[in-house]
Amino acid sequence: MMYSVPHNIQPTTPALLAPLQVDSRQLYFAMLDEGSGIVGQIDELSGSTSRSFLQEQLSIAAATHSDFPATMLSLPAVLCSAQDQVAQEYRHYLDERSAGSPRRYFGCRSHAMYFLRAVAPTKLVDGAWLYGLLQSWQDPRLTPLIRTYLEELGCGNLQQNHVLIYKRLLARYGCEKWQDGPTAHFTQGAVQLALAHHADEFLPELIGFNLGYEQLPLHLLITAYELNELNIDPYYFTLHVSIDNASTGHARLALQSLQDCTPRLGDAKEFYRRVGNGYRLNQVGMGTQQVIASFDLEQELLRVISDKAQTGAKLHSDYCLVGGRLLSEWLSSSAEMADLLKTLQSTGWIRRGESLEQSRFWHLLTDEQAPMFGVFDGYELQLLKDWILNDANKTPTINRFRIRATGSTIESSAAPQSDASIKQIIAHHANKAPRTGNCAEVDILFSQLTGVDTKAGAFAVLTGLLSPANHPTPAGLAATRLYADLFLNLS
């Protein structure tokens, strides 16, 4: 279907919306689950809920101060000035660090790992807001946005898919348990998924959100720098410094898409107002600095131990005594955890401020054949380690990571133009598709494409597999590679 920009649609007045009965975490997982189907559609009830949620967040955004200019004529200069300001502030930050100032964001390694977990709901739907535009692939005004989405997906390259890069980052440092985080951690991700589900109605807001999201923020640069200091691979973050650049990257495509989609007929002023609200939508939920400021080492450790207590209270033998009390008694109530930590110190099980080898409790968790080996994941062990060592803003560790080459590439099929050649391109991808992971789904995908000889026919099969829930899968990667080849090379 050919897409027309709905710049005259007037969304329901936000002030009249009833309070939502579902929180952003529930909505986040509901939209991901609904998007896991091949068709990628949502049912009427969930669609209404996500639409109301999006309108509610837009009402919050509309009241938020931002640097978004009043007229589009001044927008390029304002964005350019903002980028210059970020560069100057980052230079100032580097000068401060060179002069001996401590890290600005992360007091210790577990603080940085806490951050990785906290922003995971957003990073694991990277680019999701653009998914809803795939149905409008015939509209040339949306080409920059669809191209951006395909590049967020790495054009189907396993090593360049942004969601998979972040999943590997979480797995590498034992930070995979992010799903039970506070509701506020899910607001931004839920906004992005809601935009994907309602792209047709909220195109101006989507364009504005994309424009704001693709600008280079100071916190991205500082985050990458300090992760690198703490021996945490910063590649996911440095990738976004380069791929989103304002000269040739996604920031430039974002501005181009706004200019292309601004209506020549109709109410351009209303369209731009809605773009501004979408731009401000980047500020709803917990931002990077709020997430970082929310970390308290001891309180986070107490939370982790309380979680362990729920399953461990009945698994300890009667001879496990700490401070004269059975460990099972200590673990029976989360309110006891602070006193348990104090007792572990007073009885010598934990010796804070000394080397880890001096703490018997640490050996219970980490020694070979230790009775509690594997009970704590990588993040939780780092929390305990930093707490025992009383580690905060100590001398940075040695940088072990190099900036890697970025960019998403795809093997072209020589871009033949006839419909007959579509079959050849599909056959080429079917033969070249890696048969790792769930090979059956990849085979099913190409069996569904048998006999397809038009781009429209191919996209009808492929689009659902490029959804935020599906694109990181083996079949989703194969579908993305084929979609990108057909879209980028046969446009």
pLDDT, one tens digit per residue, over 195-226 is: 999 999 999 999 999 999 999 999 999 999 99
Contact 56, 188 (CB under 8 A): no
Give pTM, 2 decimals.
0.89
Q: What is the pLDDT of residue 420?
A: 58
**H/E stretch holding 440:** helix 439-448
Residue 404 has pLDDT above 60, yes or no: no
DSSP 266: S
Indicate the domain borders of the chain: 14-293, 297-389, 419-489
- Closest by alpha carbon to 258, among 219, 220, 213? 213
**H/E stretch holding 321:** strand 321-322
Residue 412 has pLDDT above 70, yes or no: no
Q: What is the pLDDT of residue 314?
A: 56
3-state secondary structure of 322: strand
Report the mean per-residue pLDDT for the chain: 85
Q: What is the pLDDT of residue 247?
A: 66
**Model confidence pLDDT, tens digit, residues 114-172:** 999 999 999 999 999 999 999 999 999 999 999 999 999 999 999 999 999 999 999 99
Residue 317 has pLDDT above 90, yes or no: no
Confidence of residue 308 (pLDDT cuts 50, 70, 90): confident
Contact 403, 238 (CB under 8 A): yes
pLDDT, mean of residues 247-264 = 88
Lowest mean pLDDT among 59-68, 306-315, 362-371, 439-448: 306-315
Confidence of residue 334 (pLDDT cuts 50, 70, 90): confident
**CA pair distance 70, 307, nearest whole angstrom:** 49
Length of the chain: 491
DSSP 149: H
Q: What is the pLDDT of residue 179?
A: 95
Please compute Rg for the chain using Cα positions: 25
Percent of all residues in the chain with a pLDDT value above 90, rounded to a whole number: 67
**CA pair distance 462, 458, nearest whole angstrom:** 6
Residue 239 CB contacts under 8 Å (≥ 6 apart), including other chains: 162, 165, 406
Amino acid (1-letter code) at residue 425? I
Alpha-carbon distances, residue 1 vs 137, 317, 345 (angstroms):
9, 66, 67
Q: What is the pLDDT of residue 403?
A: 45
DSSP 326: E
